[in-house]
Structure 1
Amino acid sequence: MSLLTENSHQAKTMLCTLITALAGGGMFTLLHLPLPWLLGPMIAVLIGSNLWKPLYSWPPQIRNTGMIIVGYTIGLSLTASALSQIAGQLPYMLLMTMLLLLFCAGVAFAVSRLSGTNYKTILLGSIPGGLTQMLLLAEESEDVNLTVVTVIQVIRLMMIIICIPLLIYSPLFASHLDGGGAMPLPQGASAGWGGLFPNILYYGAACISCAIAGQKINFPTAYLLGPAIITAILQLSGLQGPVLPGTLINAAQLMIGVYVGLLLDPRKLEHKLLTLSLAVGSGVILIAGAYGFSLLFTALEHVTAATALLSLAPGGMDQMSLIAHETGADLPTVAGYQLFRTFFIFFAVPPLFKMIFRRKKGARMYQ
C-alpha cells in the first residue's frame, strides 16, 4: 500500500512538473524567444520548484531519453566528410581546449583570492566538464566544498544555456545566422513521422543498447556519446538514418531543460549571497572568455561566429548541440569541439588535478 502511495505521489509530481514545463515552453513560443522548448521549461520549472519544491520531480531516466535523442541527431551529422573535416582540426581543438582550461584556472584563482574561498573548490566549480564528473572528483578531493562546486557548476551551465542563444540571436551575430533555422535535412530523408520506419527501429535499439552499455563501463556522457557514435557508424556503413520530426526534437529539449531547472536549490546554501555572487561573476567572465576565444577561432578557421562560439562555450555538449541545431550553426564542428573537450577533461584533468595538488600538499609538509 505504501509503495502504491509512493508511486501515486511521484506520478502527481511528474505531472505537475510536465504541466509547468509545457506552460513555460508555450509562453516562450508565444513570445518568440530563442530555444523555447529548452529555455522555457528550464526557467519555469526552476521558479516553480523553488516556490513549491514538494510538487516537482523528474526522474533522470527521462533526461537520459532526451540525451539519447540528441545523441542520435548528432550522429546523423557526423558524415564521412564531416569527420574528415573534424580530423583536420584536431590541432586547433587541442589549442582551444588548453586555452579555455587555462583561462578557467586563472578565473578560479582570481575569484578564490577575491572571495577567500578555497581554490580547489572554485577550480572544480569553474572547469567546464561534465557536471557528474566534476562532482565525483570533488567528492574524492580533500578540502573541497561539494555544495559550492555544485552551485557554481549548475549556475554556469544555466547562464551558458540562457546567455549563449541570446548572444547568437543578438545583432552581434545576426549576420552570421543561417536564417535561424535548424540544420538542413540530409538528401533523401524525411522529417515526417511516416518516414521514420523501419530504420528508426534499428537505430533506436542500437542507440539505447550503446547508451546503457556505455553507462555500465563509466563512459563519459554515455547517454549522449553512445548513441552519437553508433549512429555515425551505422550511417557510414550504409544504413540510412531518418531525420527526426521537429516535435520529437522539442520533446528532447523539454526533457533536458526540466532536469537542469531542477538542479538548483538556493535554500541549501549556507552563504547564499556570497556563493551566488561568485557563481554569477565567474559565469559572466567565462562567457566573455569564450566569446574572446571564438574571435580567435574565426580568425584561424573559416567558420561562422555562431559556430565558433558554440564550439567553445563552456556548457554541456547536449545543450550546445541543440542550440547549434536550432540556429543553423555547423553541428559537426560544434559537436566535434565539444566532444574533444569532454574526452580531454574526462581523461586528462582528474589525474592532473590530483598530481598538482598532491605535490603542493607534499611541499607544505616539508616546509
Structure 2
Amino acid sequence: MSASSWFSLSTWSRLRQWLALLLLAGGSGQLLKYLELPAGQFIGPMLVAITFGVAGAHIRLHKEAFRLSQGCIGLLAAHSMTLAVLTAMSESWHLMLVATVLTVGLSTLVGLALVRFGGIHPSTAAWGTSPGAASAMVSMADDFGADARVVATMQYVRVVCVVLIGALVSHLLEAPANGSDLHATAVAQHGFNLFDLGLTLATAVVGVVLGMRIPAGALLVPLLLGGSLQLSGLLHITLPAWLLAIAYGAIGCYVGLRFDRPTVLYVWKRLPAMILGAVSLIALCAASAWVMARLLGQDFLSVYLATSPGGLDTMAIIAVDTHSDVGLVLAMQTLRLLAVIFTGAFFARLVIRFSAPIKPQDRQDSPMTKHS
C-alpha cells in the first residue's frame, strides 16, 4: 500500500473506518479528560472525526444516535435545574433579553463584514453567521435561496472555534474539568440502580421523539421533561459516566464527520474569512459577557458560555463539565435559539439590503451561481 493511499481513508472498508474511529475517538476523549481539559470527551472525538472526514472517510453517524446523545445531555443539564436556579433566572430575564438582542445584532455586523471583505454572498453570510441553531439555519437557508453547503460549513466552523476557545478560556480560568465526576457523585447519593437508569433512558427516548419537529428539540424537550419529573420527585436522573462518554463522543463525531474533503475544498478560498468572522464574533460576545457578568454579579465563565455563539448542546456540555451556572447558560442559549429561529429571515434581508453590490467577477465565482 502506497503512502498516499494509506493516508486516504477512502480506500479503507467501512468496518475498518468505524473501528479506527471508535478506537481513536474514545482514546482521545479519555486522554483529554485525563489532562483535565474541559469537555475533553467531546473535543477529542470531534477533532478525530474532523481528521477522518477530511482524509476521505465515507462513514456518517446516524441522525438518531446524535439525537439520543443530545437527549442524554439534556437530562444531564436537567439534573442541575432546581427551584433556586429557576428563581434566579426569572429575576434576571431582562438582562438575558438584552444579551440575546446584542448577540444577534453583533452576528449581523459580522455577516456584513464577511460580505464586504470576505467575498461571501450576502444571503449565505447572513445565515452562516446566525449565532446558534446550526441545523435549523442550514434548512432555512436553503429555503431562502442561500447555498446550504457554505452555510453549513460556516456554522460548524464557528462551532469548532467556540468549543476550542471555550475550553481554552475555561482552562485559563482554572475551572474544574470533572463535571461528569460530580454528576456521578450525585447519582451515588440517590443510589444507582437499573430501574432509575431505565426510567432515565426512557425519558430521553420519549423526549427525543416528542421533540423531533422542534429545532433543537432533541435536547430541549428531554431537558424540560426530565427537569419537570425531577422537580416533582418522580425521577432520579441517573446517567453513568460511561453513558455520558458515549453521548459526548457521538455528538463530537457527528459534528466532525461533516467536515469532508469536498466541502473543505469547496470553501477553501473563503475559509480564512470564515474563521476570522467566527473568532471576531466570539471576541465581541466575550466583551459583552464581561459587562454582563458585572451587572448580573455572576462569574465571567458562566456568562461567557451563556453568550457564546455556539450550539446549545456543546455549551451545555462545557457548562456542566466546568461546574458553571448551568441554568443561566441554558436559559440564555435557549432564548437566543428561539430569537435566531424567529428573526433569522429578517436579519438575512437586513444583511442583503445593507450589503454592497457584488462585482460581476465575484458573482461568477460565487457558489450561488453554481447552486442555482
The interval holding the TM-score normalised by the smaller chain is 0.7 to 0.9
Q: Which residue of structure 2 lines up, in the alignment, with residue 113 of structure 1? A: 116
Flag the 1:188–1:313 CA change in 2: closer, same or farther, 3 A: closer
Checking the alignment, whether the CA contact within 8 Å between 1:39 and 1:257 is kept in structure 2 is: yes
Q: 2:147 aligns with which of 106, 121, 145?
A: 145
Which whole-Å CA distance do the structure 2 matches of 1:149 and 1:358 have between them?
Answer: 15
Correspondence 1:285 to 2:280: yes
Correspondence 1:53 to 2:57: yes
Correspondence 1:122 to 2:104: no
| Residue 296 of structure 1: how far off its partner (Å) | 1.0
Flag the 1:254–1:81 CA change in 2: closer, same or farther, 3 A: same
Flag the 1:32–1:77 CA change in 2: closer, same or farther, 3 A: closer
Which whole-Å CA distance do the structure 2 matches of 1:287 and 1:220 have between them?
Answer: 23
Q: Which residue of structure 2 lines up, in the alignment, with residue 236 of structure 1? A: 231
Root-mean-square deviation over aligned CA pairs: 2.7
Q: 2:312 aligns with which of 292, 313, 317?
A: 317
Which whole-Å CA distance do the structure 2 matches of 1:46 and 1:357 have between them?
Answer: 30
Give structure 2 stretches of 5+ with no counterpart.
1-12, 355-372
Residue type at the aligned position of 1:309: Y
Q: Which residue of structure 2 lines up, in the alignment, with residue 251 of structure 1? A: 246
Correspondence 1:16 to 2:20: yes
| Residue 134 of structure 1: how far off its partner (Å) | 0.5
Residue type at the aligned position of 2:96: M
Q: Which residue of structure 2 lines up, in the alignment, with residue 262 of structure 1? A: 257
| Residue 270 of structure 1: how far off its partner (Å) | 5.9
Which whole-Å CA distance do the structure 1 matches of 2:251 and 2:184 have between them?
Answer: 29
Residue type at the aligned position of 1:169: H
Flag the 1:354–1:51 CA change in 2: closer, same or farther, 3 A: closer
| Residue 12 of structure 1: how far off its partner (Å) | 5.1
Q: Which residue of structure 2 lines up, in the alignment, with residue 69 of structure 1? A: 72
Which whole-Å CA distance do the structure 2 matches of 1:354 and 1:125 have between them?
Answer: 10
Flag the 1:191–1:123 CA change in 2: closer, same or farther, 3 A: farther
| Residue 166 of structure 1: how far off its partner (Å) | 0.7
Which whole-Å CA distance do the structure 1 matches of 2:126 and 2:291 have between them?
Answer: 24
What does 1:322-361 align with in structure 2 at a 5 Å threshold? 322-350=317-345, 352-353=346-347
Correspondence 1:97 to 2:100: yes
Structure ranking higher on relative contact order (CA contacts 8 Å, 6+ apart): 2
Which whole-Å CA distance do the structure 1 matches of 2:190 and 2:16 have between them?
Answer: 30
Q: Which residue of structure 1 lines up, in the alignment, with residue 42 of structure 2? A: 38
Give structure 1 stretches of 5+ with no counterpart.
1-8, 361-367
| Residue 204 of structure 1: how far off its partner (Å) | 2.5
Residue type at the aligned position of 2:315: M
What secondary structure sits across from 1:134 in the alignment? helix
Q: Which stretch of the first structure deviates more once superposed, 107-116 or 199-208? A: 199-208
| Residue 348 of structure 1: how far off its partner (Å) | 3.4
Q: Which residue of structure 1 lines up, in the alignment, with residue 216 of structure 2? A: 221
